[in-house]
Chains A and B, each alone.
Chain A
């Protein structure tokens, strides 16, 4: 193996946010021609550490050297000048501008979009990107936006790239494409840091891993010398089991029957086309599909939030009688025990009010209960405390506004509340989006508990590996149509992946 030079050395980096110690004397080396995976639980300080490298935050203590030269990075501009570029988890792009305009944003000199477009195409050709410089950002898919972010960083001549959870919003196919590009860049001698929670990605992509726990550096090693179990144990600090339980469904009975469901969006676009399936009690029905293939509309239609063009959705009572849900008001549907927890890309958009505290957010579900004109504040408060304790939510207290919590903790609050309402049908979408491995497993356990107690769970997931391990049956959506329903046991990733991109998945299979 050839000799590699340390592009970045970080020594004794410490960063405090008020009383919270986000990074505590962290050491980190980043090498050129290598992909480093930075691992850690939510809130372990990975993003903070990388933000200090990219000039968003300034370290309280410690030294950073680039190519052996000590440097001070005070602003994103300083970082650019040193060749450091970061692709943030929440894209920093202006929607109404074109790709090219976004890419040249903040640079000096005369505005020449033509020559910028030319250079963008050169970069794209060199690494295998596909970007139309003149396309507006708001017309782009998530993966295209991410590509623009990467090109933006390369355009500025960065040779040290940091990607913060780049695959969280990508489909498996898009992820593969991204990885190919990242490998191309590594072979081109660039230093790449990737923050991720997905172990199989770490194993597939990275050359070396570095692990943080509670703001401290735990260790680094070559990826080929370690395995998922060891890395997880280092992240969490104690041994954890990495198998997702999949108990056999107990006495499954049809709970929700969907027949010929067709839904159009407000703009008249067909979102769901003749969708039929049955969800059984005591069973997890996984829903797979490229994002935007109608998953959201499906769950919302069941919850009564989405106008339906035609078809029927019936709720089957224990005694076998059926009730039509279409046309019922969402409150009545929720009254039947149908509970929806949807975690959108920004995590706060649905279900939680950012400026309200944990207890008040719990109350959003329960404020209608009770007889007097006054609301019952005590039980939501207790519920909030329970959720905080059971799901290990990191928060100063239950009267902290939700917006102050880190993303993963926000999700625990949301999912915890929905489960606490003792539903008969649990609709959940992207429940573990962006969560670290330990919290994800907590959520899987919770979902399994619900399944064991006879709840019909409909689980929309983005991580195919998890769906394959967790779900009893998998319904694959493709462009709003049912591409097929396969049993979770024994289904292959390849098979499901093909069904996601092509109806039926058989052609050129």
Chain B
């Protein structure tokens, strides 16, 4: 019998980094910026958090650590790191009007390299035997959950057993959805992504909207990296362990047809598909496992085909996605 009670919480935890990544990317794309640097930004978010936590944790025992600071320091480091990445992306694509795809891919390559470089340095510094850094104390704080999670049986296990960042991710997705759909800020942002010259003529500052959405989006995505290290991986940083989650987050944006609220459940589905291979007995044949790992991408392609076939305008990407805006260009 398939063990749903252990599978679902694992799927959710697997899904949270994807949810944060895709919420950030959706917000960014709504402003017309196709930020393919998201995998790199999540990577940078993760390693910056690790750096912060590493220096705070160094030489302290679990008792000596202040809960508040142990969360605040890695969090601020993570946000600062991903914000800088977002700013860099904006400066290149909005101010200098560089090609968005090229810039994004470069940022991803850069982010992964940056993470691995500092990851490697920290491993050297810690003098560890293993090729990884283990921040158990910080991780324990990040993973703390309500006591009720353990005492309420199945319900607690399914809904209350996660670290606080998981709830932050869900709330952020819902809030961003609401902002995009119901508020003037969201309306203006969507207008910028759909038709920047219309927005400009209506008196909306296009560059400012793009900067704001992209930077905030980057910070949200960066939190995904932080969650992955501190919560999902129990505080263990290993170079390249983050894998292709960043790309999955971008796939998730398309899968959810640019709706972060849909992303909440969709990310859990993706998380489930991502780890399905561990729960389905496939014997010794590793190739089959690899096939299972493809499942999220296959599902995304199917959604792409379905939305293209239905051809509903609301389900299409923002019309000016990937295009630079220059007022005097005709």
Binding site for B on A (CB under 8 A): 56, 75-77, 80, 88, 92-97, 101-102, 104-111, 136, 138, 403-404
The tally of CB-CB contacts under 8 A between chains A and B is: 65
Query: Could you tell me if A75 and B203 are in contact, using CB atoms closer than 8 angstroms?
Result: yes
In the complex, which of the residues B201, B313, B330 contacts A96, with contact meaning CB atoms closer than 8 Å? Answer: B313
Given A96-B319, A106-B188: 7 more A-B contacts, CB < 8 Å: A92-B195, A94-B190, A95-B195, A97-B194, A104-B184, A106-B191, A107-B184
Q: How far is the CA of A108 from the CA of B190 in the complex (A)?
A: 16
Query: Could you tell me if A403 and B204 are in contact, using CB atoms closer than 8 angstroms?
Result: no
Query: Could you tell me if B184 and A110 are in contact, using CB atoms closer than 8 angstroms?
Result: yes
CB distance from B325 to the nearest CB of A (A): 14
- Given A76-B203, A77-B203: A94 touches B191 (CB 8 Å cut-off): yes
Using an 8 Å CB-CB cutoff, how does the interface string of B176-190 with A read, 1 for contact, 0 for none?
000000111001101
Q: How far is the CA of A396 from the CA of B176 in the complex (A)?
A: 49
Query: Could you tell me if B313 and A95 are in contact, using CB atoms closer than 8 angstroms?
Result: yes
Chain A contacts for B136, CB-based, 8 A: none
Q: How far is the CA of A304 from the CA of B197 in the complex (A)?
A: 36
Question: Residue B202 at the A interface, CB < 8 A?
Answer: yes
CB distance from A465 to the nearest CB of B (A): 30
Chain B contacts for A101, CB-based, 8 A: 187
Q: How far is the CA of A101 from the CA of B197 in the complex (A)?
A: 16
CB distance from B320 to the nearest CB of A (A): 10
Question: Residue B244 at the A interface, CB < 8 A?
Answer: no
Query: Could you tell me if A92 and B203 are in contact, using CB atoms closer than 8 angstroms?
Result: no
Question: Residue B314 at the A interface, CB < 8 A?
Answer: yes
Q: How far is the CA of A138 from the CA of B316 in the complex (A)?
A: 13
Question: Residue B198 at the A interface, CB < 8 A?
Answer: yes
Closest to A103 in B: B202
Question: Residue B199 at the A interface, CB < 8 A?
Answer: yes
Interface of A is mostly: loop
Query: Could you tell me if A109 and B184 are in contact, using CB atoms closer than 8 angstroms?
Result: yes
Closest to A101 in B: B187
In the complex, which of the residues A56, A105, A108 contacts B191, with contact meaning CB atoms closer than 8 Å? Answer: A105
- Given A111-B182, A111-B183, A111-B187: A106 touches B199 (CB 8 Å cut-off): yes
Closest to A56 in B: B201
Query: Could you tell me if A94 and B198 are in contact, using CB atoms closer than 8 angstroms?
Result: yes
Query: Could you tell me if B330 and A403 are in contact, using CB atoms closer than 8 angstroms?
Result: yes
Interface of B is mostly: helix
Closest to A136 in B: B313
CB distance from B274 to the nearest CB of A (A): 32
- Given A105-B188, A106-B188, A111-B184: A96 touches B314 (CB 8 Å cut-off): yes
Closest to A405 in B: B330
Q: How far is the CA of A403 from the CA of B330 in the complex (A)?
A: 7
Using an 8 Å CB-CB cutoff, how does the interface string of B160-189 with A read, 1 for contact, 0 for none?
000000000000000000000011100110
In the complex, which of the residues A80, A96, A97, A136 contacts B203, with contact meaning CB atoms closer than 8 Å? Answer: A80
Binding site for A on B (CB under 8 A): 182-184, 187-188, 190-191, 194-195, 197-204, 313-314, 316, 319, 330
Q: How far is the CA of A77 from the CA of B182 in the complex (A)?
A: 23
- Given A96-B314, A111-B183, A403-B330: A105 touches B202 (CB 8 Å cut-off): yes
Query: Could you tell me if A106 and B204 are in contact, using CB atoms closer than 8 angstroms?
Result: yes
Query: Could you tell me if B198 and A93 are in contact, using CB atoms closer than 8 angstroms?
Result: yes
Chain A contacts for B202, CB-based, 8 A: 76, 92, 105-106
Query: Could you tell me if A76 and B201 are in contact, using CB atoms closer than 8 angstroms?
Result: yes
Q: How far is the CA of A93 from the CA of B191 in the complex (A)?
A: 9
CB distance from A378 to the nearest CB of B (A): 30
CB distance from A164 to the nearest CB of B (A): 12
Q: How far is the CA of A136 from the CA of B190 in the complex (A)?
A: 14
CB distance from A319 to the nearest CB of B (A): 48
CB distance from B258 to the nearest CB of A (A): 11
- Given A96-B313, A96-B314: A88 touches B187 (CB 8 Å cut-off): no
Q: How far is the CA of A105 from the CA of B319 in the complex (A)?
A: 17
Closest to A75 in B: B203
CB-defined A-B contacts under 8 Å, sample of 28: A76-B202, A77-B203, A92-B198, A92-B201, A94-B191, A94-B194, A94-B198, A94-B199, A95-B194, A95-B313, A96-B194, A96-B313, A96-B319, A97-B194, A102-B198, A104-B187, A105-B188, A105-B191, A105-B198, A105-B204, A106-B188, A106-B202, A106-B203, A109-B184, A110-B184, A111-B184, A138-B313, A403-B330
Chain B contacts for A94, CB-based, 8 A: 190-191, 194-195, 198-199
Q: How far is the CA of A105 from the CA of B330 in the complex (A)?
A: 22
- Given A106-B188, A110-B184, A111-B184: A95 touches B319 (CB 8 Å cut-off): yes
Closest to A112 in B: B184
CB distance from B180 to the nearest CB of A (A): 12
Q: How far is the CA of A94 from the CA of B198 in the complex (A)?
A: 7
Chain A contacts for B195, CB-based, 8 A: 92-95
Closest 7 CB pairs of A and B: A106-B202, A77-B203, A111-B184, A92-B198, A106-B203, A92-B201, A105-B202
CB distance from A165 to the nearest CB of B (A): 16
Q: How far is the CA of A172 from the CA of B127 in the complex (A)?
A: 83
Q: How far is the CA of A107 from the CA of B188 in the complex (A)?
A: 9
CB distance from B259 to the nearest CB of A (A): 13
Q: How far is the CA of A110 from the CA of B182 in the complex (A)?
A: 10
Chain B contacts for A110, CB-based, 8 A: 184
Q: How far is the CA of A111 from the CA of B316 in the complex (A)?
A: 24
